[in-house]
Amino acid sequence: MQPKGLCLDRSNNQLILRKGYLLRQARKYLSMSKLIFILITLIFSTNALCQTMVDVNVSKKDEYYILEYVLDEPIKKIYFLKDNSRTRWTTDDKFERNKNEKYDIYAKKDGSFFESITVKIKPFYESKEKDYESFIIFSDGSSLIYTGYIRPEKIYGRKGLVNIDNLSLNILKSKEYVYTLCAYCDGNMFNSKGKHVDKDKYIYLGNIKPIEYDRFIVVKDNDISKDLNKIIIKRISALTNYYERVTGKLLTNKYIIFINQFKLSSSENFSGGVLGNQVQLTFSGEDGDFTDPHLLSLNYLVAHELFHLWNASLFTHKGSSWLHEGSADYMAYTVLLDLGMISKAVYDEKIEESLNICASRLGKYSIEQADENNDNDMIYKCGSFIHYSVDKSYGHKSAIKIWETLFSNREKFGYYNSKDWFKALNTSFNNKQYNDTLFSFVNNLVKSDLIIEQFKTLGWHINETLVTTKNHNIQLAFDMFKHLMTVDCSDFYFNFSADGFFITDLKCSQFKAGLVVSIDGYDHFDKDSADMYNEIRGKCLTSKPIMIGMSDGQELEFICADAPRKLLPYLALAHDKPSGPI
Ligand SMILES: [Zn+2]
């Protein structure tokens, strides 16, 4: 705790301003009795008075965004959450960026104090937009600001860590913009306390008129056709009704959906995210022509993101991500099947995909430990596989019932974790032995040679085969490439496009930034990947060189210092035979 009187080096004037400011904010939200309590707290708490004011001014110049951090006292270092987009931040030459495990840290090269720092940001990667971009761009040039990556996390001043509980985000008013939309933000403040879903927000800046519907508000890119928009609105309404019905919980607030079209991507796909009551969806594709007749990936994205309004916004999840992401995946495909938007064959393919990708991730650590290993495949695929397993044992849609049970009594807490989910499992279904097996599957390491046996214990009938689907081939190529990159680069970012793997921001000894189009002569990542995987694994084991082909014609010779795990056979779902006389 900070000793009293530590802030006396400030002028009285500043103190009064600060108190007045806090009071104005407080008055907006609190009743008189609470206000008196806050006043008393203010008088006795030096911490509250020691807050440093940070104004973050946002403006735009040509295609760049300018962020100006202005402080009311000299500081030494400013910390932001570590993110690869920081490579697109440019500062004055006098500043430098350092990184540690969690943060990107900006400071003066000569170590001197500063009271402001200006950052120029190029809003997107050349080939692909990324989820939770700092600035998400609409085709008319308007933008959605994601505060998570522009909000300072920590600041060091003269006397160590300074209190930045209140940060003010000022968007310089421009005649250009008609709407400044910040749903559920407290004025122009953005909070630096609590979990990221509570403190981070999307703020829309632009000229697109929000359209209000019964349950939600939509800010839609002008380039999205009327027909597609109609489909989306219909889907969103149907999904909202469905989730409310099966979970037994109505959404308490109107939510807001931002839909932008991102044209620079070479592949057609969709991405998105949810923060509080805000849903963000990005559609990629050069011409906005969505030729997929069932719009499967779009339907999946919308269904997945909307379930987060229940399992993340209405009730906060305080636990490992497999539950939160896996359930959203399971719910998405289950609702799409139920509403007739996908066939049973597609649904079964998705189960098979979860099962195989989950299997490929097991053997090194438990599913509970997927977060600390940044293992997204394990988080999404093992997480949904656990839900499919519940259905396998207790009947189709049984896993939905667990969520209904879980939500039914969480109001007084407002949050849940995986322990609560397992409790709800035991309340809903009473095969204790099965439930314990599932609990152990999540919490303990499954040894590599016991994976298939473990799946059988969970009720799955599977055939081990060499036949792999296109998706599985791509997954294997992805696994191998990720392995090679992990071996060579301590910190890396890449994404997969139709043409190959695009590498950015690397600290690697051999891999170079650019588009990788072939790995050891294999240039079609959607077929023969099992052969590629096994051949390259052999080269890793014997330290033989692997050739990496880049799109500019360069060939890199790469020695892989560590072999990836042995490839599991492909596990095909065997459909249960109807029971009858033997
Ligand atoms: Zn999700």
pLDDT at 31: 41
pLDDT of residue 63 exceeding 80: no
**pLDDT tens by residue, 170-208:** 665 555 555 655 544 444 445 555 555 456 778 887 888
**pLDDT tens by residue, 438-487:** 999 999 999 999 999 999 999 999 999 887 788 888 888 888 988 888 88
In the reported structure, the alpha carbon of residue 325 is separated from the centroid of ligand 1 by a whole-number distance in angstroms of 5
Q: What domains, with CATH codes, occur in the chain? A: 6-206 (2.60.40), 210-290 (no CATH), 315-450 (no CATH), 470-558 (2.30.42)
In the reported structure, the alpha carbon of residue 473 is separated from the centroid of ligand 1 by a whole-number distance in angstroms of 24
Instruction: Look at residues 360, 356, 372 and name the one whose alpha carbon lies nearest to residue 479.
Output: 360
Instruction: Look at residues 155, 20, 136 and name the one whose alpha carbon lies nearest to residue 77.
Output: 155
Q: Quick one: average pLDDT of 235-259?
A: 92
The two structure tokens encoding residue 347:
């649904």
Which band of pLDDT confidence, cut at 50, 70 and 90, is reported for residue 294? low
pLDDT at 179: 63
Phi-psi region of 266 (alpha: psi -120 to 50; beta: other; left: phi over 0): alpha
In the reported structure, the alpha carbon of residue 317 is separated from the centroid of ligand 1 by a whole-number distance in angstroms of 12
pLDDT of residue 507 exceeding 50: yes
pLDDT at 131: 58
**pLDDT tens by residue, 137-155:** 888 888 888 888 888 888 9
pLDDT at 471: 82
Q: Residues of 45-70 as b/e, b for ≥16 C-beta within 10 angstroms?
A: ebebbbbbbbebbbebeeeebebebe
CA distances from 549 to 66, 215, 512, 552 (A): 37, 50, 11, 8
**pLDDT tens by residue, 331-390:** 999 999 999 988 999 999 999 999 999 999 999 999 999 999 888 899 999 999 999 999
Residue 240 near residue 279, CB atoms below 8 Å: no
Residue 64 near residue 73, CB atoms below 8 Å: no
Return contacts of 123-126, CB within 8 angstroms, 24+ apart: 123/63, 123/64, 123/65, 123/88, 124/262, 124/264, 125/88, 125/504, 126/264
In the reported structure, the alpha carbon of residue 411 is separated from the centroid of ligand 1 by a whole-number distance in angstroms of 22
Q: Quick one: average pLDDT of 497-511?
A: 73
Question: Whole-angstrom Cα distance, residue 319 to residue 410?
Answer: 15
pLDDT of residue 320 exceeding 70: yes
Strand pairing partners for 68? 57, 118
Residue 206 has, within 13 A of its CA and on its CB side, a CA count of 23
Which band of pLDDT confidence, cut at 50, 70 and 90, is reported for residue 393? very high
In the reported structure, the alpha carbon of residue 511 is separated from the centroid of ligand 1 by a whole-number distance in angstroms of 30
In the reported structure, the alpha carbon of residue 272 is separated from the centroid of ligand 1 by a whole-number distance in angstroms of 8
pLDDT of residue 226 exceeding 50: yes
Residue 337 near residue 216, CB atoms below 8 Å: no
pLDDT at 232: 87
Q: Residues of 77-91 as b/e, b for ≥16 C-beta within 10 angstroms?
A: bbbbbbbbbbbbbee
In the reported structure, the alpha carbon of residue 333 is separated from the centroid of ligand 1 by a whole-number distance in angstroms of 13
Question: Whole-angstrom Cα distance, residue 540 to residue 560?
Answer: 5
Q: What is the DSSP string of 256-319?
A: EEEEEEE-S-SS--EEEEEETTEEEEEEE-SS-----TT-HHHHHHHHHHHHHIIIIIISEE-S
pLDDT of residue 4 exceeding 80: no
pLDDT at 391: 97
Higher pLDDT, 229 or 328: 328
Tell me the angle at which helices 321-338 and 418-428 cross, rounded to the nearest 10 degrees. Answer: 50
Residue 325 near residue 262, CB atoms below 8 Å: no
Q: Quick one: average pLDDT of 567-573?
A: 91
The two structure tokens encoding residue 49:
């008075």
In the reported structure, the alpha carbon of residue 327 is separated from the centroid of ligand 1 by a whole-number distance in angstroms of 9
Q: What is the pTM of this model?
A: 0.79
Which band of pLDDT confidence, cut at 50, 70 and 90, is reported for residue 158? confident
pLDDT of residue 265 exceeding 80: no
pLDDT at 26: 36
In the reported structure, the alpha carbon of residue 306 is separated from the centroid of ligand 1 by a whole-number distance in angstroms of 9
In the reported structure, the alpha carbon of residue 15 is separated from the centroid of ligand 1 by a whole-number distance in angstroms of 43
User: Among the listed ranges 131-140, 184-193, 551-560, which one has the minimum average pLDDT value?
Assistant: 184-193
In the reported structure, the alpha carbon of residue 305 is separated from the centroid of ligand 1 by a whole-number distance in angstroms of 6
Which band of pLDDT confidence, cut at 50, 70 and 90, is reported for residue 3? very low
In the reported structure, the alpha carbon of residue 329 is separated from the centroid of ligand 1 by a whole-number distance in angstroms of 8
In the reported structure, the alpha carbon of residue 485 is separated from the centroid of ligand 1 by a whole-number distance in angstroms of 25
pLDDT at 563: 87
Q: Quick one: average pLDDT of 76-83?
A: 90
pLDDT at 363: 92
Question: Whole-angstrom Cα distance, residue 154 to residue 103?
Answer: 9
In the reported structure, the alpha carbon of residue 304 is separated from the centroid of ligand 1 by a whole-number distance in angstroms of 6
In the reported structure, the alpha carbon of residue 527 is separated from the centroid of ligand 1 by a whole-number distance in angstroms of 29
H-run or E-run covering 423: helix 418-428
The two structure tokens encoding residue 169:
């985000």
Instruction: Look at residues 347, 328, 330, 327 and name the one whose alpha carbon lies nearest to residue 279.
Output: 328
**pLDDT tens by residue, 100-118:** 888 999 999 999 999 999 9
- Local structure of residue 448 (DSSP, 8 states): G
H-run or E-run covering 419: helix 418-428
In the reported structure, the alpha carbon of residue 374 is separated from the centroid of ligand 1 by a whole-number distance in angstroms of 15
Instruction: Look at residues 322, 329, 324 and name the one whose alpha carbon lies nearest to residue 310.
Output: 324
| Average pLDDT along the chain | 80
- Local structure of residue 194 (DSSP, 8 states): S
In the reported structure, the alpha carbon of residue 303 is separated from the centroid of ligand 1 by a whole-number distance in angstroms of 10
Which band of pLDDT confidence, cut at 50, 70 and 90, is reported for residue 514? confident
pLDDT of residue 249 exceeding 90: yes
**Secondary structure percentages of the chain, helix, strand, coil, to 5:** 40, 25, 35
In the reported structure, the alpha carbon of residue 4 is separated from the centroid of ligand 1 by a whole-number distance in angstroms of 45
pLDDT at 535: 94
Residue 430 has, within 13 A of its CA and on its CB side, a CA count of 0
In the reported structure, the alpha carbon of residue 168 is separated from the centroid of ligand 1 by a whole-number distance in angstroms of 29
Higher pLDDT, 28 or 271: 271
Tell me the angle at which helices 32-44 and 12-29 cross, rounded to the nearest 10 degrees. Answer: 150
